[in-house]
Amino acid sequence: MYEEFYHLSALPFQLTPDHRFFYGSDVHKKALAHLEFGLSQGEGFIVITGEIGSGKTTLIRHLLAQIESEANFIAANVTSSKLEGDDIVRMTASSFGVETADRNKAEVLQEFEGFLAQTYKRGVRAVLIVDEAQNLSVSALEELRMFANFQYGHAALLQIIMVGQPEFRATLGMPQFDQLRQRILASYHLGPITEAETHAYVTHRLQAVGWKNDPQITDAAFTEIYKFSGGVPRRINTLCARVLLFGFIEERHLIDADDVRKVGQDLEAERQEVVAGPGVSLNGTPAAPAAAQMESVSNADDGAQQILIRRLEARLESLERHLERNDKLLKMMSIAIGNSGLRD
C-alpha cells in the first residue's frame, strides 16, 4: 500500500533477493571480482561466504544474470538442506536437466558426465552454484570434489561456486577437506557495507522504483538506518520497508531520525519478543504474573527499579504505537475497499 502513497512502481525493499536491485558496494564489487576471476580460470571451486542477510544470494543472481546472457555458459543452482552424497549427485544432475529417475548412482554419474562432455563439445561451459553450503554433509562435499575430476582431455567439465555462512570456512579448514581446499581458486568473505554505502544503497533501491524524493529522507535518518542495521543489506531492507509503512500510516512526506528510531526500536522489541517467546521473560526465565513483577520491583534497589520501570514504559509505548498504527491501517484499508466497491 505504501508504494501507491509514495507513487512508487514497485516495493523497493522486498526481502526476496532480486538481482535487479543489485548495488555494487565495495565488498560486493570485490566479491564479484573474485567470482569473475575464478570463472575465467574455467576449473576448480570458488567460495563466497557472508553472514545471514549480507547479500550473497543477490550477488549470485546478479552473476547468473550476466553469464546466462552469454551463449557459452550454462548454470544450475542447488540449495543445500543437509544433503548427503547421493542426494547432491541426483539433485545436481537433475538441475542440469539430466534424467535421474529409475537410475542408480553410478548410472546417474555416467549420464551426467556424458551430458557435461557433450556440453563442452558445443563450446558451452557448465557452472554449478551450491547455496547454503554450510549445510553440506561430509559425503556431499566429497561428491562435489569428485565432480571436479570430470574432464574432457585436459579440460575441466564443471566449475563449482559454493556460497555459505561464515561457519563454512571452518568446515573447509578441516583436515579431511585438504584435497578440496587445494582446488579453491578464489575465496571471499562478504562483510557489512559502510554508512556512506548504506545511504547510497537505500537511494539506489528507491530510485529503481521511481522514487522522486517522496518521502524526503533526512541525512540524520540515513545515519539512524545505518546504526540500526549495522550495514547488513537484509536488515536495511526490513527496517526501510517498515519506515515507509510507518510514513504511509502517519501520512508523512518527510522521514527524519526520530521516525527511523521509533521503527527501529519497535523492530528490536519485536525481535526480543520472538526470542523470549510467550510467557518467558527476556532473561529466559518463566514470566511472573504482573502482581509478582510489581512486588519484585518494590523489593529491588532504587537503581534496578528505575531500569525496570523504564523498560516497561518503553514496551508500553511501543505497544501503544503499534495499536495506533494498526487502527489507522485498518481504517485506510476499509476506505480503500469501500472506494473499490463504488467503482465496481
pLDDT in tens, 279-293: 444 444 444 444 444
Q: How far apart are CA 127 and CA 144, in angstroms?
A: 12
Instruction: Please state which of the ranges 58-62, 118-122, 165-169, 328-332 shows the lowest mean pLDDT.
Output: 328-332
* Buried b / exposed e along 295-319 (16+ C-beta atoms within 10 A): eeeeeeeeeeeeeeeeeeeeeeebe
Q: How far apart are CA 137 and CA 147, in angstroms?
A: 16
255 pLDDT higher than 90? yes
Q: What is the pLDDT of residue 322?
A: 61
Cell 554419474 -> residue: 109
- Domains of the chain by start residue, with CATH: 26-190 (3.40.50.300), 195-343 (no CATH)
119 pLDDT higher than 50? yes
- Element (DSSP H or E) covering residue 45: strand 45-50
324 pLDDT higher than 70? no
Higher pLDDT, 242 or 325: 242
What lies within 8 Å, CB to CB, of 178 at 6+ separation is none
Confidence label for 303 from pLDDT (cuts 50, 70 and 90): very low
User: What percent of the chain lies above the pLDDT cut of 70?
Assistant: 79
